Structure 1
Amino acid sequence: MSKKGISGLRKRIDKKKIDKKHIDKKKKQKEEKVQQGGGKFIPLEEMSKETIQRAKLYKEFFRNKSMEYFYYLYKRQKRLEEFKQNLKKFKISKNERSKVIKEHFQKESNFLRRRRTKMSVKQFTILAKIGQGGYGDVFLCRKIDTNEMIALKRMKKALIEKTNKVEHIMSERQVLAEHSSPWLVQLLYSFQDTKYIYLAMEFVRGGDLKALLMNIDYLDENTTKFYAAEMLLAIKDLHELGYIHRDLKPENFLINHDGHIKLTDFGLSKKFIIKKEWRETVKLINNKKKQKKKNSKSQNPYSTLSKRQLQQKRRNKFYTVVGSPEYISPEILEKKGYTKTVDFWSFGCILYEMLTGFPPFSGSSIEETLENVMNYRTSLENPLDDQTNEEIIQPKAWHLIRKLIHKPNKRIGKNGIQEIQQHPFFEGIEWDKFQNSTPPFVPKVESDLDISYFDTSYFDEDEVELEEPETTTSTERNNQFVGFTFKKYDLKQGGTQDIYQKK
C-alpha cells in the first residue's frame, strides 16, 4: 500500500476513535443525568401543572416568533417590490439610482436594528400619572426617540403571580397585539424587566364614558344612540377576533380626541373569575324557598330613592372600587356555562345607565345588587321622572333593553350582533359609514399634556419618574411571561404604524 493510502487509512481510524470518544462522553453524561433525575422520562399525566403551563407558554412563544419572522420576510419583500416599481417611474441617473437604493436598504437595516433593540423604561419620559389600580399604575409618557405620547400601564409581577392573574395579563396583551380595529385601543409596545411588566398603549385623551356620565348625569336618546352604536361596533370587532370581553362597563369605554369610542381593558377576555363572596351570595339566593311574586314597588330598589338621590348615591361611589356586579349576567354567576351573549347583557345595562344616570340593578350593597341581578324579571323597571311622573326610557329603547336583559336563549344577539343592529332603536344608522359620523361631544384638548379629562384626585402623585429595573435576574418569574414582548414599528417614521399587524 502506498504512503498516501496508509496516511488516509490512519486519518479514518483516528476520526473513528474521536467519534467513539465523543459518543462515549455523551452517553456518560446522559447516564449521569438519568441518575440525577434530570434525564428521566416523565409521562404527561405525571407532570405538574406548572411544567405543563410553562411548556404551553414556550410553545406559544416559538409559534408567535416564527409567524412574526415569516411575516417580516413577506413584508420586506413586498416593500422591495413596491420600491422597484416606484423606481421605474422616475428617470434618474445611475449615481442617483445607486444612492436611492442604498438609502432604502439602510432604512431596512435601521428598522431591523430597532426591532432587535431591547425595550426599557429608560426609553420613556414620564409626564403625569393618570391612573391607579389594584395591580399597578398608568402614566402619560413620551417615547424619547419617536416623541410618541403613550399611556404606559405598569404592573407588578409578584402581585400578578400571587393573585393568579398571569393568564389574564397574557390574554390582554394577546388581544391588544392581534387586532387592527379602530374601535379597540391599540397596543404599541409591551415589555418587561425583573420586577414589572409594561403595556404601552395609545393615549386616549377624552377620559371614559363613566366620567362623562358623572358630569352630566345622563344622556339624551340621540346621544345615547350614537355611543351605543359605537359600542356595538367595538363589541362586534372583539367577537370577530374570537374573544368575549366579560367585563363591559362604562369605564372601559374611552372617548378619543375626535369624540369616537374605544374599548379597553381585556384582562378578563379569556377566563372570568367570580369573587368568592359573590359565589356565596348567589348560593344564598338560589337556596331561598320559592316565594310569591313580590310587590314590584316594595322590592324595586328605586322605590325609596328619587332619581336625583340615586345619581348622588352613584357619585358617592365614584372613588370606591365597586367592581362589576352591576353589569354581570346571571349565567356567569350561576356557572352554568355562557357564550358571547353575556356581553350583550352588559351592553343592555350600560344602555339603561346612559338613559337614566344609574345602573339597572344598583343596590345598597354587593349582595343586594347581585340579588337584583338574579331576580331581574321583577327588579328591572323603567323608572319614573320626578317632575312629570312619566317613564324616563322611551318605548323603542326600553324594548331593546328588555330584549338584552333577558335569559340567554331568548336574548337578542344570540343569532348574531346584526339582530341588535337591526332593532328599531338604531333606525337610520348607516353602520358601514358610521366611523365618519360627527360625534355629539368632542373633547377640548389644549395640548399633548392636557389630562383634564382624567380624575387624578384619588391617588398620590408623588412618583415623578419610572423606577429603574433591578440588576438581578429572576428566571422563574420571567418564564411566566414568555412571549410578552411586542413592538409595532413603522419603517419610514420609526414610530408605531401598522407594519406587523396581521390583516
Structure 2
Amino acid sequence: MRKLLPNDLKASPNSTVVVSDSPLQQHSSFQDLVGVLESDDSSDQDDIWSSTHSSRLASPEDNLTGKTSIDSRLSGSRSAKGSPRRRLSRRSRWTRSSPEGAALGTIEETAADRPKPTIVTVERAAAAKIFLETHFNELCSELQRRSIRCQQFAHQQFKDGLFNSQNLASGNSGINYSTFYHSETSRLRDIRSLKAKCTIQAKRQNPSPFASRYEPLKILGKGSFGVVRLVREKSESPYTFTKQVYAMKVIRKSDMLRSSQEGHLRAERDFLVSCEGSNWVVPLIASFEDMSNLYLVMEYMPGGDFLGLLIRENILHEAVACFYIAEMILAVEEAHRLGFIHRDIKPDNFLISSSGHLKISDFGLAFDGQWPHDASYYNYHRYSLLQKLNVDAKGDEKDQEDGKSVQARVEKAQALTADLGRHDEHNFGTGQDLAVVLGWRNTCSNRTRANSVVGTSQYMAPEVIQAQNYQTYYDGRKPTKQNILAHKERFRFPVRPLVSDKCKDLIYRLIQDKEVRLCSKRYQMLDQSQPGQEMPMDIYGRYVFPDDAEDIKAHRFFRSVPWDNLQNTAPPFVPRINSLEDTHYFDESEPLDERIDSATEKPGLTDEEVRWILREFRPCVQNVAIRLINVPYDSGALRSRDLEIDSMTVFAEEEKELLKRFMREYGRRVPKRPRDIVLRDENMKGTAMEVRKQSAFMGYAWHSVRKRAY
C-alpha cells in the first residue's frame, strides 16, 4: 500500500475514508496500473473527486433502492464508462463516499436477530465468575502456605545442624535450598497440569483416568455423600514406587448439587489443603474430579474410628481416657488454629493411625465464615444472572403454587435479599478489577454467623437445641435430646468403676451453662464485648482463636500430660494388622460392590425376587420385607421402622437384624427436594445439572507435597 500523502486528506470533515486491499493487487495488470497511479498523484486526486461528484449526480431512484453506496456510485457513473481515466479511478485503492449520497450505513438489528440467553448461558457465565474469583483468592493463600513450608524447611535444616560452619563453607545448605525451591516449582507446575486435565475430564462421560490408577479393594463405609473405599495404587502408575494403600472418599456430584453443598465441599477440601503436614488431621494425598464424582484420596487409618474402640473396650481406664481426651483437645485446637469450626465433634470422627495416635477427620460440616465456603455466594451469581438476562425459573408445582400468593413472593424476595445481598458487587461500585473485588469480598462478603443447625443430635450442646428451636419431639432422638436439656437433673456418675474427684470436676465444669463453662477466657471476653451476637468475631474476623485450649490444658486432670511431646508418647492401643490392607477394625467394611458407583436410583425388587432372596427364611419374614421396601422412607421413618421391627415379638433377633439390613439395602428412599429453584424447574433441571457437574468444581484438583499420588 502506498504512503498516504497530505493532499489525500483534503476531504470534507463529514467524508468517510474506506481503506480497501483488493485481491486484484496480485495481478500483473493491476501492478502496471499502480505504477501509473503513483507517477501521477495529481491526476489521481482529480479522478477521485470526479468519482465523488458523479456519485452526487446519481439519479434519485438509485438512492431510494436498497443498494449500497458502492453500487450507487457505480450505477451513477455508467455514462462516463467510456473514459479510461474514470475506469482507472474506480480501481483506486482509496475511495471516498459522501454521507449525502447512498453511503454505507449501520445495519439495525431487530429483536428477532439478537440471541436469547438460556439457562446454559447463566450456568456457564456463573461458573466462569466463580472460578476466577476462587482461583485467584486461592493463589493468595498458596503464597502463605509456601512461606510456611519454607519456614518449616529452614527449621528442619537448622535442627539437622546443616547451618554449622563446615556446611556453610562447603555450600551444602545452599544446595539444599536450591533443591527445595526446585521441588516447589515442579509441584506448582504439576498442580496446574492436574487442574487443567481434571477440567477437561469433567466434561467427559467416562470415569476419571486418575481414579483408574487406584485399584478398589473394599468398602470402608457408606454415607449420604457417597462411599469410602480402600484402594491400592496400581503398579503401572509412573509415580508409584510401592503399592501404597489409601482411603478414597468418592462423593456423588448430583446429590451434593441438589443439596446446595458446593460451599461445604470446598470448605472440606480447602481445610485439608491448608493443614498439610499437620500431625492431628488425617492427611489429604490428592483430590480430583470427573463428570460424576469428586475424589479425596487420604491416608488410610487402619485402627478404625475411636467409637469402635469404645465399643470393643466398653470401659476405658481413667489414665487411658486422659490420654485420648488430650489428643482430641490437640486435634480440635489444630482446627481452630486454622480458623475452622468442625461442628461435628464425636468419637466416630477421630480415627486411629497405624501408630495408635488419633487424627481428626470428616470436615464436611466445617465452618470458617469465608465467602468461598458459603452456599449463598454460589446462589448469588446464578440468581443475579437469571434476573439480568430475564431467564425465568418457575420451579416445581409447589413453587408455582407459592408464587400465586403475594405474601409468599414478598417473603421469598426478602429472604433472597438478606441472604445474597452481601455478595452483590454493586455495593462497592462498578468497573473495579479483580483485586478490588477479592479485597471487598474478604472484607465484607464473609458470613457473620452459621445459619443452620448441623451435627449429630446426641452430641449437641443444650443451648444449640434451645436457641435454634430444634425439632426435639419429631424424630427418633427425642429421649436423648430431653436428657441433654435436663442434664442437671438426670446426669449421674456410676458407682462402679470409681471416678476420681479431678475427673468429676472436669466433667462438671464442661457441662455448665455457656457463660460459666470451662473454656478460653478470650471467648468469654468476646461474648461480653459483643452482646446479642450469636457468633461474635474478634478484630481479625475470626470465630475461633488459635491456641485456645490453654484453660482446659491447665486443669489438674491433665497435670501429667506432656502436651508438647504427646505425639511421641507411646499410645495405650496400637492396631495389630496383618497387612497394609487389613480392615478388621472397620466393622462396616464390605466387599466391593460396583452398584454404589451409580448415582441413579436402583430399580425396586418384585415380590417374587424378594421371596427368592429370602427363600431360606419363613414366609412371615418375607411378607414383612415386601411391605417395608414397597413404601419409600426418609431418615426419620427409618428409625421408626427400626422400632417397629424391634417390637415384633414373633421374630427372633437374627430375623430382626436381617429385616433392618434388607430394608436399608433394597428399600427406596424418598427423593429429597432440591434446594435450588433452577434444579426444581422441569424444563431447566436436566441442562443445569449437566453444566454444573462439568463446571461447578473447577480448581478442585490438588496433590500433596510429600507424594504425587495421582
- After superposition, the Cα gap between the structure-2 partners of 1:73 and 1:377, relative to the gap in structure 1 and judged at 3 Å, is closer
1:207 match: 304
SS at 2:260 equivalent: coil
Deviations 1:143-171 (A, max 9, x none): 33324321100011111122333322222
1:432 match: 564
2:257 match: 161
1:241 match: 338
- Equivalent in 507, 517, 520 of residue 401 of structure 1: 507
- CA distance in structure 1 between the partners assigned to 2:148 and 2:559 by the alignment: 44
**Given that residues 57 and 482 in structure 1 are in contact (C-alpha distance below 8 angstroms), is that contact kept between their aligned partners in structure 2?**
yes
- Equivalent in 464, 467, 472 of residue 335 of structure 1: 467
SS at 1:397 equivalent: helix
**Given that residues 305 and 348 in structure 2 are in contact (C-alpha distance below 8 angstroms), is that contact kept between their aligned partners in structure 1?**
yes
**Given that residues 227 and 596 in structure 2 are in contact (C-alpha distance below 8 angstroms), is that contact kept between their aligned partners in structure 1?**
no
Deviations 1:413-459 (A, max 9, x none): 142311100001101212111111110111112211111111136x5
Deviation of 1:59 (Å): 1.4
- CA distance in structure 1 between the partners assigned to 2:108 and 2:572 by the alignment: 72
Q: Does 1:381 align with 2:492?
A: yes
- After superposition, the Cα gap between the structure-2 partners of 1:148 and 1:431, relative to the gap in structure 1 and judged at 3 Å, is same
Q: Which amino acid aligns with 1:404?
A: L
**Given that residues 124 and 695 in structure 2 are in contact (C-alpha distance below 8 angstroms), is that contact kept between their aligned partners in structure 1?**
no
How is 1:11-30 mapped onto 2 (pairs within 5 angstroms)?
A: 14=19
1:462 match: 593
How is 1:45-444 mapped onto 2 (pairs within 5 angstroms)?
A: 55=129, 58-65=132-139, 67-68=141-142, 89=170, 112-113=189-190, 116-117=193-194, 118=197, 120-144=210-234, 145=237, 146=240, 147-180=243-276, 181-270=278-367, 324-335=456-467, 365-385=476-496, 392-415=498-521, 416-444=548-576
- CA distance in structure 1 between the partners assigned to 2:244 and 2:331 by the alignment: 25
- CA distance in structure 2 between the partners assigned to 1:230 and 1:106 by the alignment: 33
Deviation of 1:467 (Å): 7.7
Q: Which has the larger radius of gyration?
A: 2
- After superposition, the Cα gap between the structure-2 partners of 1:6 and 1:467, relative to the gap in structure 1 and judged at 3 Å, is farther
1:480 match: 696
**Given that residues 217 and 591 in structure 2 are in contact (C-alpha distance below 8 angstroms), is that contact kept between their aligned partners in structure 1?**
no
- CA distance in structure 1 between the partners assigned to 2:579 and 2:460 by the alignment: 38
**Given that residues 111 and 494 in structure 1 are in contact (C-alpha distance below 8 angstroms), is that contact kept between their aligned partners in structure 2?**
no
Deviation of 1:233 (Å): 0.4
2:64 match: none
Deviation of 1:481 (Å): 2.3
SS at 1:474 equivalent: helix
- CA distance in structure 1 between the partners assigned to 2:109 and 2:338 by the alignment: 46
- CA distance in structure 2 between the partners assigned to 1:189 and 1:29 by the alignment: 54
- After superposition, the Cα gap between the structure-2 partners of 1:435 and 1:105, relative to the gap in structure 1 and judged at 3 Å, is closer
TM-score by length of 2: 0.46
- After superposition, the Cα gap between the structure-2 partners of 1:74 and 1:414, relative to the gap in structure 1 and judged at 3 Å, is closer
- After superposition, the Cα gap between the structure-2 partners of 1:409 and 1:242, relative to the gap in structure 1 and judged at 3 Å, is same
Q: Which runs of 5+ in 1 are unaligned?
A: 18-26, 40-47, 92-96, 273-322, 338-363, 386-390, 497-503
- CA distance in structure 2 between the partners assigned to 1:478 and 1:70 by the alignment: 30
- CA distance in structure 1 between the partners assigned to 2:267 and 2:109 by the alignment: 38
**Given that residues 138 and 153 in structure 1 are in contact (C-alpha distance below 8 angstroms), is that contact kept between their aligned partners in structure 2?**
yes
2:418 match: none
- CA RMSD in angstroms comes to 4.7
**Given that residues 520 and 550 in structure 2 are in contact (C-alpha distance below 8 angstroms), is that contact kept between their aligned partners in structure 1?**
no
- After superposition, the Cα gap between the structure-2 partners of 1:163 and 1:9, relative to the gap in structure 1 and judged at 3 Å, is same
Deviations 1:221-250 (A, max 9, x none): 010010000000001111111111111111
- After superposition, the Cα gap between the structure-2 partners of 1:4 and 1:454, relative to the gap in structure 1 and judged at 3 Å, is same
SS at 2:594 equivalent: coil
Q: Which amino acid aligns with 1:440?
A: P
- CA distance in structure 2 between the partners assigned to 1:73 and 1:35 by the alignment: 51
Task: Please say which of residues 403-412 and 478-487 is displaced more in the overlay.
Answer: 478-487
- CA distance in structure 2 between the partners assigned to 1:439 and 1:87 by the alignment: 40
- After superposition, the Cα gap between the structure-2 partners of 1:326 and 1:33, relative to the gap in structure 1 and judged at 3 Å, is farther
**Given that residues 217 and 592 in structure 2 are in contact (C-alpha distance below 8 angstroms), is that contact kept between their aligned partners in structure 1?**
no
Deviations 1:308-354 (A, max 9, x none): xxxxxxxxxxxxxxx722111122223369xxxxxxxxxxxxxxxxx
**Given that residues 156 and 196 in structure 1 are in contact (C-alpha distance below 8 angstroms), is that contact kept between their aligned partners in structure 2?**
yes
Deviations 1:262-287 (A, max 9, x none): 00011111289xxxxxxxxxxxxxxx
> Percent identity, aligned pairs only?
28
**Given that residues 128 and 464 in structure 1 are in contact (C-alpha distance below 8 angstroms), is that contact kept between their aligned partners in structure 2?**
no
Deviation of 1:34 (Å): 11
**Given that residues 282 and 298 in structure 2 are in contact (C-alpha distance below 8 angstroms), is that contact kept between their aligned partners in structure 1?**
yes
Deviation of 1:69 (Å): 7.9
SS at 1:382 equivalent: coil
2:202 match: none
- After superposition, the Cα gap between the structure-2 partners of 1:223 and 1:478, relative to the gap in structure 1 and judged at 3 Å, is same
**Given that residues 126 and 465 in structure 1 are in contact (C-alpha distance below 8 angstroms), is that contact kept between their aligned partners in structure 2?**
no
The alignment covers a number of residue pairs equal to 375
1:43 match: none
- CA distance in structure 2 between the partners assigned to 1:194 and 1:29 by the alignment: 42
- After superposition, the Cα gap between the structure-2 partners of 1:68 and 1:381, relative to the gap in structure 1 and judged at 3 Å, is same
Deviations 1:114-150 (A, max 9, x none): 7514362122111222111122111111233324321
Deviation of 1:462 (Å): 2.8
**Given that residues 267 and 367 in structure 2 are in contact (C-alpha distance below 8 angstroms), is that contact kept between their aligned partners in structure 1?**
yes
Deviation of 1:201 (Å): 0.9
